[in-house]
Amino acid sequence: MKISIDQKKCQGDCICEVICPEVFVLDEAGIAWVAADGVPLANGGVETYVEVPKAFEANVLDAISQCPTQCINTR
């Protein structure tokens, strides 16, 4: 599974980071980014998809379903 985050839609609710801190981190403004080892990956944005490790897919799907702004995209 690959995911991206639309940072323009993210409101910093922290739900994704609480559910799966291995994949999501918040920047200093409280906006979510896809991460590996706590480090944000790529440039972010809706067009930048990052592969999710299989071990975290269930938690990522949970985070997607609970995101109030639905800013996490999959493909």
- How do residues 22-47 score in pLDDT, each as one tens digit? 999 998 899 999 988 778 876 667 77
Domains of the chain: total: 1
Query: Whole-model pTM?
Result: 0.89
d(CA 50, CA 4): 6
- The domain in which residue 22 lies consists of 2-74
Q: What is the DSSP string of 13-47?
A: --HHHHH-TTTEEE-TTS-EEEEETTEE-SS-EEE
**pLDDT higher than threshold 80 for residue 60:** yes
Mean pLDDT across the chain, nearest whole number? 91
Q: What is the CATH number of the domain that holds 60?
A: 3.30.70.20
